[in-house]
Amino acid sequence: MRVERENLFHLVEPLLSRVEHPARYLDHEWGACEEQDGPFHLCMVYADVYEIGQPNLGVAILYNQVNAQEGMSCERCYLPWKDVSELMREKGVPLLSLEGAAPLASFDAVGFTLAHELIATNVLEALDLAGIPLTSSERDEDDPVILGGGPSAWNCEPLAEVFDAVLLGDGEESIVEVCSCIRDARAEGVSRAELLRRLVGVPGTYVPSLYEVVVDESSTRWGYAVPRAGEGAPEVVHKRCVPDFAATPALAQKIVPYAGIVQDRMSIEVLRGCARGCRFCQAGMTYRPVRERPAEQVVSCGVEGLLASGHNEISLSSLSTTDHSQCEQILHGLNSALEGRGVRVSIPSQRLDSFGVDMAAAVAGARRGGLTFAPEAGSQRLRDVINKNVSEEDVEWAARNAFEAGWRRMKLYFMMGLPTETDEDVIGIARLAERVLEIGREVVGRGVKSGVSVSISVAVLVPKAYTPFQWCGQLEPDEVRRRQQLLLHEVRDRAIRVSYHDADVSLVEGALSRMGRAGFSLVRRAWELGCRFDAWSSEFRFDLWLRAAGECGFDLADVACEELPLSARLPWDHTSPGVGKGFLQREWLRAVEGVTTPDCTRTSCTGCGVCPTLGVSNVIWGERS
């Protein structure tokens, strides 16, 4: 039976005095879109608390795109914290949208952002709170169409049973086309099954129920998906790619939150895609090609957004902002336009060269806090394996320039468990940090009052789909812990601080990253046992994940740490970001040999296949430095 659309905030209001952070659940923020009366209603769900989900740029982009259409409206929803969800179940209050406090079950479509693998149990929690059946096969004609998309959609197979459709790649155009298809099908009164078949006609749309899984000698244990006979689904669903990025609205974040949030600043996406070719980086492979916004668009929209929102900081967002060919012009333009207004311009990370340091100085002004670089590996040999294309001299040069320019704190990002890594590579992380610290003391001085310090953050490599490392196994948790202790033992200077990722959290992430559809039983059982907010260190329950895996017949370490044959058909091969499998295989072989591959935006085509497959190309507005 169709759930009626009505404002039910009166059911929530009495609960607010009994919960933490009640501002999470208030609507009508400055800049939010007004609820429309149009015939089609979409709700975008970020399945985490408001403070985490509200600043998400992807949600903001799709929210604006849908609300700009005549006869369509889009509202938002975030997952309530556990205190609220308990009260909602106790009082019989369903999960509601933020703008109109309407039940999620009353919407025509509900879209989930798959920001990372560990959000999986939160997706089930949101559906359950909304009273929407967890799987596509359980839903009836009047239930909302459940959509998925986002950075972790590239292996969505463990959640494939949940989604009616998954949008791959850039969503600016496809979200409107998918919503139009659903609206028109509903207006014609076609069956839900026919509606899903029609969605296949929208390029970039993967409909899991139209595929079946085959396990044979050519596959891994998880099998591979093939179209069901007679359904008209393609063998491979290629991603959508916006060829003219400059034609899309630059100003996506227009909502000013009531409460403090993470990344409480205005963001402008200055470029999309990266061709650096780091072999561990899923985003670098799946967001190709590189498409820049012109400098004048970034500057004008940045100033406009700051005036409209009242933010005192603007972040220039991308995978590698200082790679923008007009980065210098953008920063000088913003600094000139915002002079005297007390507004700070920030960039997420810096290139490991003098240009990166110069650009950091341009945004820091007189303030010199900390500066972040990502060598990723402790030895040159291993940096060549991962195709980082950064030398020891680059690191030392960047550090010296930074300390001479006034910085006193340096943060260095590394990874552990990279293919071919040895103890010498791990020790190399400590030695490199010590060298950076020594450079700082040479420049600034050795006294305690100099304030020179270095912090190193070490993540565990989780091999991801559509990277050259998708075939390699993750490092065993006990070995991760041994190498972490080795690193701690080798860091002897108190001015160097070390932090690292939890081996158990990384193990669950790794298992979910390579499971096929059979992995849904693990996700569902973990949720049933109480797993929620798994990305929060305070909430992660490894014991429950182990119990769920045991009950489902899985060994998490066996799944995550298994090496896959280079010739195997993989669970995600029926979707594609445009990067050819042959290219990824060649990159894996080059990695084993320690051979690097250049950035195609600075040299010539490296044969990844994206441009000819998708009919797109790199868009660079200036000369690459």
Mean pLDDT of 70-77: 95
Phi/psi at 267 (nearest 5 deg)?
-115, 140
Lowest mean pLDDT among 99-103, 201-205, 347-351: 347-351
Q: Is residue 197 a contact partner of residue 210, using CB atoms and an 8 Å limit?
A: yes
**In this predicted structure, what is the pLDDT of residue 450?**
79
Q: Which residues of 48-61 are buried (b: 16+ CB within 10 A; e: fewer)?
A: bbbbbbbbbebbbb
**In this predicted structure, what is the pLDDT of residue 356?**
73
Q: Is 263 left (phi over 0), alpha (psi -120 to 50) or beta?
A: left
**In this predicted structure, what is the pLDDT of residue 368?**
65
**In this predicted structure, what is the pLDDT of residue 571?**
98
Q: Is residue 21 a contact partner of residue 233, using CB atoms and an 8 Å limit?
A: no
pLDDT tier, 27 (very low <50, low <70, confident <90, very high otherwise):
confident
DSSP string, 444-489: H-SSGGG--EEEEEEEEP---TTSTTTTSPPPPHHHHHHHHHHHHH
Half-sphere exposure of 472 (CA within 13 A, CB side): 24
Task: Tell me the three state secondary structure of residue 410.
Answer: strand
Distances (CA, A) of 9 to 28, 80, 95, 280: 12, 14, 11, 45
Domain with residue 155: its CATH number is: 3.40.50.280
Mean pLDDT of 503-509: 98
Lowest mean pLDDT among 109-123, 209-223, 304-318, 465-479: 304-318
Residue 342 CB neighbours (<10 A): 7
Mean pLDDT of 458-484: 98
Task: Say if pTM beats, i.e. exceeds, 0.85.
Answer: yes
Query: How many domains in the chain?
Result: 1
Give a yes or no: residue 115 inside a domain: yes
DSSP string, 524-537: HHHHHTT---TTST
Residue 218 CB neighbours (<10 A): 12
pLDDT exceeds cutoff 80 at 349: no
What is the share, in percent, of the chain residues with pLDDT greater than 70?
98
Distances (CA, A) of 340 to 79, 93, 309, 336, 365: 39, 49, 17, 9, 12
Give a yes or no: residue 68 inside a domain: yes
**In this predicted structure, what is the pLDDT of residue 33?**
86
pLDDT exceeds cutoff 60 at 1: no
**In this predicted structure, what is the pLDDT of residue 281?**
97
What is the share, in percent, of the chain residues with pLDDT greater than 90?
84
Element containing residue 113 per DSSP (H, E): strand 109-113
pLDDT exceeds cutoff 70 at 354: no
Place of tokens 């010539």: 604
Mean pLDDT of 135-153: 97
Which residues, at least 6 apart from 149, have a Cβ–Cβ distance to it below 8 Å? 111, 112, 113, 114, 166, 167, 168, 171, 175
Give a yes or no: residue 226 inside a domain: yes
Distances (CA, A) of 311 to 32, 316, 376: 15, 14, 33
Mean pLDDT of 586-590: 98
At 625, list the tokens.
């430095």
Give a yes or no: residue 163 inside a domain: yes
pLDDT tier, 73 (very low <50, low <70, confident <90, very high otherwise):
very high
Residue 41 CB neighbours (<10 A): 25
pLDDT tier, 346 (very low <50, low <70, confident <90, very high otherwise):
confident
Give a yes or no: residue 520 inside a domain: no
pLDDT exceeds cutoff 90 at 34: no
Residue 543 CB neighbours (<10 A): 10
Mean pLDDT of 484-491: 98
pLDDT tier, 411 (very low <50, low <70, confident <90, very high otherwise):
very high
Lowest mean pLDDT among 13-27, 181-195, 471-485: 13-27
Give a yes or no: residue 202 inside a domain: yes
More reliable by pLDDT, 353 or 29: 29
Mean pLDDT of 327-348: 89
pLDDT tier, 625 (very low <50, low <70, confident <90, very high otherwise):
low
At 160, list the tokens.
């494939």
For residues 275, 277, 281 and 284, what is the CA-based torsion angle, rounded to 10 degrees? Answer: 10
Distances (CA, A) of 329 to 41, 247, 254: 41, 20, 24
Give a yes or no: residue 39 inside a domain: yes
At 327, list the tokens.
């980065």
Place of tokens 């967001």: 287
Average predicted confidence (pLDDT) for the chain? 94
pLDDT tier, 288 (very low <50, low <70, confident <90, very high otherwise):
very high
Residue 84 structural domain: 9-167+171-238
pLDDT per residue as tens digits for the range 464-474: 999 999 999 99
Mean pLDDT of 375-397: 95
pLDDT tier, 370 (very low <50, low <70, confident <90, very high otherwise):
confident
**In this predicted structure, what is the pLDDT of residue 358?**
80
pLDDT exceeds cutoff 70 at 369: no
